Structure 1
Amino acid sequence: MNAPDPILPQFDAPFAPPDETLVPDLLARVKRDDQAEARIDRDARALIEGIRARAGRIGGLEDFLRDHGLSTKEGLALMVMAEALLRVPDAATQDALIADKIGAGDWTHADHADTLFVNAATWGLGLSTRIVRPGETPEGILSSTVRRIGGPAVRQGVRQAMRYLGHQFVLGRTIEEALKRARPLQAEGYRFSYDMLGEGARTRADADRYAQSYADAIDHIGASARGALPDRPGISVKLSALHPRYEPRNRDAVLAELVPTVLHLARAAKSHDLNFTVDAEEQDRLELSLDVIAAVFSDPTLRGWDGFGLAIQAYAKRALHVVNWCADLAAAKGARMMIRLVKGAYWDTEVKRAQVEGAHDFPVFTRKPATDVSYLACADALLDRRDVIYPQFATHNALTVATILDMAKARPGDNRGGFEFQRLHGMGEDLYHQISEGAGVGEAGPIPCRIYAPVGGHRDLLAYLVRRLLENGANSSFVAQAGDRAIPVSELLERPSDALRDHAPRHPQIPLPKDIFRPRKNSAGIEFGHRAELDPITAAMQAAPAPQAPPEATPADANRAMETLAKAFPAWRDTPVEDRAAILETAADALEDDRAQLMSILAREAGKTIDDGIAEIREAADFLRYYAAEARRIMVTTPLPGPAGEENVHTLTGRGPFVAIAPWNFPLAIFLGQVAAALATGNTVAAKPAPQTPAIAKAAIDILHKAGVPKDALHLVPGGTETGAALTSHPDTAGVVFTGSTATAKAIQRALAASDGPIVPLIAETGGVNAMIADATALPEQVADDVTASAFRSAGQRCSACRILYVQEDVADRILTMITGAAATLRMGDPLDPATDIGPVIDQPALDRLKAHVAHWQDRLHWQADAPGGLFMPPTILDLRPDDRLTEEIFGPILHVKRYAAADLDKVIEEINATGYGLTFAIHSRIEAKIAKVLGRIEAGNLYVNRNQIGAIVGSQPFGGRGLSGTGPKAGGPLYLTRFVEERVTSTDTTAAGGNASLIALSDDG
Structure 2
Amino acid sequence: MIEHARLDTDSRKRVESEARDLIAQIRAAQHKGWVNQFLQEYQLSSSEGLALMTLAEAYLRVPDAATADMLISDKLGEADWRRHSGKSNSKLVNSATWGLTFSRALVGEGETGPLKRLVSRMGEPFVRQGVGAAMRLMGEVFVMGRTIDEAMKRMKKPENKGFTASFDMLGEAARTKKDAEEFFEAYWRAIKAVAREPSANHTISIKLSALHPRYEVSQYDKCVPEMIDLLSQLCSEAASHNIAVTIDAEEADRLDMSLDIIGAVAKRPELRGWDRYGLAVQAYGKRARAVIAWANALDRLMNVRLVKGAYWDTEIKRTQVDGLSNYPVFTRKASTDVCYLACAKDMLSADNIRPAFATHNALTTATILEWARDAHGDDWREFEFQRLHGMGEGLYEKLVREDGYHCRIYAPVGGHRELLAYLVRRLLENGANSSFVHQLADNDLNDSDLLADPVEKVASVGGTRLPEIPLPKDIMKDWRNSSGIDLTDRETLMATAEAVNAVPFTPEGTDSVHADPHHPSGRSMASLDAARTSDDDVHSAITSAQAAYPAWDSRPVEERAAIMERYADLIEENRIELMGLIVKEAFRSIPDALGEIREAADFCRYYAHRARCDMALKELPGPTGEYNAMKLEGRGTWATIAPWNFPLAIFVGQNAAALVTGNTVVAKPAPQTPAIARRVVEIGHQAGIPEDAFKLVIGGADVGAELTGDNRIGGVAFTGSTNTARRIASTLLIDEERPIIPFIAETGGINAMIVDSTALPEQVAADVLTSSFRSAGQRCSALRLLIIQEDVADSMIEMLSGAMDVLSMGDPGDPSTDVGPVIDRDAYDKLMSYRETMRPRWIKTIEPPEEGLFVPPTMIGLDSIDDLTREWFGPLLHVTTWKAGKFKETIEQINAKGFGLTMGLHSRMQRSADVMRHLGRVGNLYVNRSMIGAVVGSQPFGGEGLSGTGPKAGGPHYLARFCAERAVSIDTTSAGGNASLLNLDRG
TM-score, length of structure 1 as denominator length? 0.93
What secondary structure does 1:416 align onto? coil
Q: Is the 8 A contact 1:259 1:292 kept in 2?
A: yes
Decide whether aligned partners of structure 1 residues 151 and 983 sit closer, same or farther in structure 2, where only a CA change above 3 A counts.
closer
- Residue identity matched to 2:272: R
1:355 aligns with one of 314, 317, 320: 320
Aligned length: 962
Q: Deviations over 1:921-948 (max 9, x none)?
A: 0111111222212221111110111111
- Counterpart in the other structure of 1:326: 295
- Residue identity matched to 2:748: G
Q: Is the 8 A contact 2:400 2:407 kept in 1?
A: yes
- Counterpart in the other structure of 2:253: 284
Q: Is the 8 A contact 1:132 1:144 kept in 2?
A: no
Structure 2 residue 460 is matched with structure 1 residue 502: yes
What secondary structure does 1:506 align onto? coil
| Aligned mates of 1:220, 1:390 — CA distance in 2 | 24
- Counterpart in the other structure of 1:220: 193
- Counterpart in the other structure of 2:232: 263
- Counterpart in the other structure of 2:513: none
Q: Is the 8 A contact 1:528 1:534 kept in 2?
A: yes
Structure 2 residue 402 is matched with structure 1 residue 423: no
What secondary structure does 1:431 align onto? coil
What secondary structure does 1:985 align onto? strand
| Aligned mates of 1:121, 1:199 — CA distance in 2 | 30
Structure 2 residue 839 is matched with structure 1 residue 858: yes
| Aligned mates of 1:977, 1:483 — CA distance in 2 | 51
Displacement of 1:991: 4.1
| Aligned mates of 1:635, 1:287 — CA distance in 2 | 49
Q: Deviations over 1:748-768 (max 9, x none)?
A: 000110132211111000010
Deviates more, 1:126-135 or 1:532-541: 126-135
- Counterpart in the other structure of 1:455: 413
Decide whether aligned partners of structure 1 residues 146 and 855 sit closer, same or farther in structure 2, where only a CA change above 3 A counts.
farther
- Counterpart in the other structure of 1:21: none
Q: Deviations over 1:892-931 (max 9, x none)?
A: 0111111111032233122101110000001111112222
What secondary structure does 1:192 align onto? strand
Displacement of 1:122: 4.2
- Counterpart in the other structure of 1:306: 275
Decide whether aligned partners of structure 1 residues 964 and 274 sit closer, same or farther in structure 2, where only a CA change above 3 A counts.
same
What secondary structure does 1:744 align onto? helix
Alignment map for 1:511-660 (pairs within 5 Å): 511-547=470-506, 552-660=532-640
Displacement of 1:484: 6.5
Q: Is the 8 A contact 2:72 2:107 kept in 1?
A: no
Q: Is the 8 A contact 2:73 2:107 kept in 1?
A: no
- Counterpart in the other structure of 1:43: 18
Deviates more, 1:273-282 or 1:987-996: 987-996
- Counterpart in the other structure of 1:84: 58
- Residue identity matched to 2:776: A
Displacement of 1:638: 1.6
- Counterpart in the other structure of 1:104: 78
Structure 2 residue 859 is matched with structure 1 residue 877: yes
Q: Is the 8 A contact 2:507 2:585 kept in 1?
A: no
2:45 aligns with one of 38, 59, 71: 71
CA RMSD of aligned residues (A): 2.1
Deviates more, 1:404-413 or 1:549-558: 549-558
- Counterpart in the other structure of 2:331: 366
Deviates more, 1:346-355 or 1:657-666: 346-355
2:770 aligns with one of 779, 785, 789: 789
Alignment map for 1:230-245 (pairs within 5 Å): 232-245=201-214
Deviates more, 1:81-90 or 1:144-153: 144-153
Q: Is the 8 A contact 2:76 2:107 kept in 1?
A: no
- Counterpart in the other structure of 1:11: none
What secondary structure does 1:810 align onto? helix
What secondary structure does 1:948 align onto? coil
Q: Is the 8 A contact 1:66 1:473 kept in 2?
A: no
Displacement of 1:124: 4.9
TM-score, length of structure 2 as denominator length? 0.95
What secondary structure does 2:878 align onto? strand
Deviates more, 1:635-644 or 1:655-664: 635-644
Displacement of 1:144: 4.7
Displacement of 1:595: 1.2
Deviates more, 1:944-953 or 1:480-489: 480-489
Decide whether aligned partners of structure 1 residues 664 and 483 sit closer, same or farther in structure 2, where only a CA change above 3 A counts.
closer
Q: Is the 8 A contact 1:120 1:161 kept in 2?
A: no
- Counterpart in the other structure of 2:103: 128
- Counterpart in the other structure of 2:27: 52
- Counterpart in the other structure of 1:405: 369
What secondary structure does 2:396 align onto? helix
What secondary structure does 1:226 align onto? helix
- Residue identity matched to 1:906: K
Displacement of 1:889: 0.8
What secondary structure does 2:753 align onto? strand
| Aligned mates of 2:504, 2:777 — CA distance in 1 | 27
- Residue identity matched to 1:777: T
| Aligned mates of 1:908, 1:693 — CA distance in 2 | 39
2:447 aligns with one of 468, 473, 489: 489
What secondary structure does 2:157 align onto? helix
Alignment map for 1:132-147 (pairs within 5 Å): 135-136=110-111, 144=117, 146-147=119-120
Alignment map for 1:658-807 (pairs within 5 Å): 658-755=638-735, 756-807=737-788
| Aligned mates of 1:204, 1:280 — CA distance in 2 | 22
Q: Any gaps of 5 or more consecutive residues in structure 1?
A: 1-25, 439-444
Deviates more, 1:35-44 or 1:268-277: 268-277
- Residue identity matched to 1:574: S
| Aligned mates of 1:214, 1:977 — CA distance in 2 | 58
Displacement of 1:151: 2.6
| Aligned mates of 1:176, 1:342 — CA distance in 2 | 27
- Residue identity matched to 2:326: D
Displacement of 1:673: 0.3
What secondary structure does 1:411 align onto? helix
Decide whether aligned partners of structure 1 residues 549 and 591 sit closer, same or farther in structure 2, where only a CA change above 3 A counts.
farther
Q: Is the 8 A contact 1:65 1:480 kept in 2?
A: no
What secondary structure does 1:517 align onto? coil
| Aligned mates of 2:331, 2:952 — CA distance in 1 | 34
- Counterpart in the other structure of 2:515: none
Displacement of 1:101: 1.3
Alignment map for 1:468-487 (pairs within 5 Å): 468-482=426-440, 487=445
- Counterpart in the other structure of 2:525: none
Q: Is the 8 A contact 2:494 2:815 kept in 1?
A: no
What secondary structure does 2:146 align onto? coil
Q: Is the 8 A contact 2:714 2:741 kept in 1?
A: yes
Q: Any gaps of 5 or more consecutive residues in structure 2?
A: 510-530
Displacement of 1:437: 2.6
Displacement of 1:259: 1.1
- Counterpart in the other structure of 2:516: none
| Aligned mates of 2:306, 2:679 — CA distance in 1 | 49
Q: Is the 8 A contact 1:86 1:159 kept in 2?
A: yes
- Counterpart in the other structure of 1:16: none
Displacement of 1:325: 1.1
Q: Is the 8 A contact 1:280 1:313 kept in 2?
A: yes
1:173 aligns with one of 130, 142, 146: 146
Deviates more, 1:486-495 or 1:672-681: 486-495
Structure 2 residue 132 is matched with structure 1 residue 154: no
| Aligned mates of 2:794, 2:107 — CA distance in 1 | 38
- Residue identity matched to 1:426: G
| Aligned mates of 1:196, 1:117 — CA distance in 2 | 30
| Aligned mates of 1:499, 1:821 — CA distance in 2 | 49
Displacement of 1:860: 1.2
Q: Is the 8 A contact 1:658 1:685 kept in 2?
A: yes
What secondary structure does 2:505 align onto? coil
- Residue identity matched to 2:654: Q
